[in-house]
């Protein structure tokens, strides 16, 4: 879904907020968990993870997918 441009993240302060391209798709789930429900919520990384995406890469992703 990320590679297809259906969601990305935007830096805000020390965290990233999830941005979902809600007008670009419809979704349903038998489990009640929808990607659209994550819109504007913080993106969390696993504590031991040392690698984080560079801000410039997120910006490129948003421009490339017009999110």
pLDDT in tens, the chain (67 residues): 777 888 888 888 888 899 999 888 889 988 888 999 999 999 988 888 888 777 788 788 777 767 6
Residue 2 lies in a domain: no
Does residue 36 form part of some domain?
A: yes
User: What pTM was estimated for this model as a whole?
Assistant: 0.73
Does some domain include residue 28?
yes
In a domain, 26, yes or no: yes
Instruction: With respect to residue 32, please indicate whether it lies within any of the assigned structural domains.
Output: yes
Beta-bridge partner residues of 19? 8
Query: How many domains does the chain fold into?
Result: 1
Element (H, E) at 64: helix 55-65
Domain assignment present for residue 29? The answer is yes
What is the extent of the structural domain holding 12?
Answer: 7-65
Residue 1 domain-assigned (yes or no): no
Structure-token pair, residue 50: 């040392």
């Amino acid at each position: 879904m990320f590679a297809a441009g259906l969601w990305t993240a935007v830096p805000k302060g020390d965290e990233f907020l999830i941005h979902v391209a809600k007008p670009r798709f419809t979704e349903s789930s038998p489990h009640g968990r929808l990607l659209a429900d994550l819109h504007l919520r913080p993106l969390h990384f696993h504590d031991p993870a040392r690698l984080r995406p560079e801000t410039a890469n997120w910006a490129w992703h948003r421009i490339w997918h017009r999110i």
